[in-house]
């Protein structure tokens, strides 16, 4: 899917870190069952370890080993929401879209209100151009009072709305994301573009400044800066942004647009 550099909210792997003790225990095929622990509890624990290992392999780009670990997790715990959810992400990356959808649905059958699965399934649906279904899942995700990152689902809902040019809905979702977390970087850049499209370069520049407080320039932020400074009639700043874009990101889509006079 396009729009990769500024729309990091669409990457929503389960962000858990493995402890060394878990890594050690994962190296043993048949660990002894602790006193008082049932076989079912032990299988669930091992499934969790395999899921975390699968996530780590995905981060490293080793999809084959990730798939093996996630399938092993499900052989141990067939109703593991985290394993089904992560497998959906992996299959989506591999463009095995039917398998991805099946995995997300399995996660939600196991736990219908799981906000992480709802968010990831919503993202998948939007990527498949099923925007209305995707929005439904994002909004279901934020209804869960225990979901501690509603800004992620709101931002994804906004990006999904932008895909179908529904700027009004997108702005509402981005504002909800920023209300939940004012530092949600992935919502700041599109809000800057929406403000600029409304002929409000001052507000757009404020959103861009907030965006840059939390990370470096990317091609889309430099392109937005160029457009803002043009509306403000600041030719020196326009030239500075253009130079940064050409020098730092010569192969970017935005640099190509600049060189063709389309920016």
* Residues 21/48, Cβ–Cβ less than 8 Å: no
Average of per-residue pLDDT values in the chain: 87
Q: Is a pLDDT exceeding 50 seen at residue 122? A: yes
| pLDDT of amino acid 37 | 55
pLDDT band per the 50, 70, 90 thresholds, residue 253: very high
What domains sit in the chain, N to C, each tagged with a CATH number?
188-263 (1.25.40)
**CA atoms of 184 and 167, how far apart (whole Å):** 19
Mean pLDDT for 145-151 is 93
Query: If pLDDT is split at 50, 70 and 90, which confidence band does 41 have?
Result: confident
């Amino acid at each position: 899917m396009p729009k990769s550099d500024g729309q990091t909210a669409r990457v929503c792997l389960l962000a858990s870190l493995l402890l060394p003790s878990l890594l050690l225990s994962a190296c043993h095929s048949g660990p002894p069952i602790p006193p008082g622990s049932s076989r079912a509890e032990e299988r669930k624990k091992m499934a969790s370890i395999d899921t975390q290992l699968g996530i780590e392999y995905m981060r490293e780009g080793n999809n084959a080993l990730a798939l093996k670990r996630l399938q092993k997790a499900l052989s141990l715990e067939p109703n593991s929401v985290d394993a089904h959810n992560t497998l959906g992400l992996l299959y989506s990356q591999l463009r095995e879209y039917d398998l991805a959808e099946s995995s997300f649905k399995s996660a939600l059958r196991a736990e219908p209100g799981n906000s992480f699965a709802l968010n990831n399934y919503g993202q998948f649906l939007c990527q498949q151009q099923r925007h209305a279904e995707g929005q439904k899942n994002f909004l279901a995700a934020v209804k869960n009072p225990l979901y501690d990152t509603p800004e992620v689902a709101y931002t994804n809902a906004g990006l999904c709305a932008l895909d179908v040019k529904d700027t009004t809905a997108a702005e509402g979702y981005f504002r909800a994301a920023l209300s939940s977390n004012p530092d949600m970087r992935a919502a700041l850049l599109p809000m800057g573009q929406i403000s600029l499209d409304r002929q409000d370069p001052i507000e757009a520049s404020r959103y861009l400044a907030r965006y840059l407080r939390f990370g470096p320039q990317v091609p889309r932020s430099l392109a937005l800066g160029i457009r803002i400074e043009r509306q403000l009639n600041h030719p020196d700043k326009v030239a500075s942004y253009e130079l940064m874009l050409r020098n730092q990101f010569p192969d970017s889509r935005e640099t190509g647009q600049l060189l063709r006079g389309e920016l």
